[in-house]
């Protein structure tokens, strides 16, 4: 079973058009799961928000077969199937990176060694109170990554590489002025 999975994984890996030389050689010579996490996750663009330990997007789309296991495993109901692939949708609870989705994935689409990142990024609407004055900074205060800041003109400055798409800022905004979208 594990052999079948490895074969499937490396077939996808080898045909993946954006694989790096470093990742390729690791994949060939280390032949372990650590090879799967060598892709630089922070630069990966997602078609959808994904469970936080999803492998690189092109590879993920090949490996995720829509089995529904991660959907059932998420204690907050954050994962749904979209186009038969696992996608994360943060509306009423944030992702606490509990790893339960990763733990049940047997296809190699989610991997433990990957730095958690849903690929979602917040956008603050023009109606955001903090953008009109400095009375509200709830999202910036809540963000555990320190990814949200406001400049002197009260406009939001998001540090994209710090943000891991947890969604806590969206939940913190009492007025619903934050939308999470896949980083593009």
35 is an interface residue for ligand SF4 by CB under 6 A? no
Give min distance, CB of 24 to ligand SF4, in A.
29
CB 8 within 8 Å of CB 108: yes
23 is an interface residue for ligand SF4 by CB under 6 A? no
73 is an interface residue for ligand SF4 by CB under 6 A? yes
105 is an interface residue for ligand SF4 by CB under 6 A? no
Give min distance, CB of 27 to ligand SF4, in A.
25
182 is an interface residue for ligand SF4 by CB under 6 A? no
DSSP string, 128-142: -HHHHSSS--HHHHH
Q: Cβ neighbours of residue 77 under 8 Å, at least 6 residues apart?
A: 93
124 is an interface residue for ligand SF4 by CB under 6 A? no
Give min distance, CB of 33 to ligand SF4, in A.
18
For ligand SF4, the closer CB: 26 or 168: 168
Nearest to 175 by CA among 147, 117, 135, 144: 135
**Using the rule CB under 6 A, which residue among 47, 69, 100, 154 binds ligand SF4?**
100
Contacting residues toward ligand SF4, per CB under 6 A: 51-52, 73-74, 76, 78-79, 88, 95-101, 122, 142-143, 145, 147-148, 163-169
């Amino acid at each position: 079973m594990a052999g079948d999975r490895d074969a499937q994984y490396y077939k996808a890996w080898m045909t993946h058009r954006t694989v790096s030389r470093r990742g390729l050689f690791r994949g060939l010579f280390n032949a372990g799961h650590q090879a799967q996490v060598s892709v630089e996750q922070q630069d990966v663009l997602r078609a959808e928000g994904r469970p936080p330990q999803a492998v690189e997007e092109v590879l993920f789309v090949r490996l995720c077969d829509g089995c529904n296991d991660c959907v059932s495993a998420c204690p907050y109901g954050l994962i749904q199937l979209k186009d038969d692939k696992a996608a994360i949708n943060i509306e009423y609870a944030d992702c606490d990176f509990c790893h339960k989705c990763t733990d049940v994935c047997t296809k190699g689409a989610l991997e433990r060694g990957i730095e958690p990142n849903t690929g979602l990024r917040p956008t603050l609407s023009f109606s955001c109170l903090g953008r009109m004055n400095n009375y509200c900074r709830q999202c910036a205060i809540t963000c555990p990554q320190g990814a949200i800041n406001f400049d002197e003109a009260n406009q939001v400055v998001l540090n994209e590489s710090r943000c891991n798409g947890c969604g806590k800022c969206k939940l913190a905004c009492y007025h619903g002025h934050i939308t999470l979208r896949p980083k593009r």
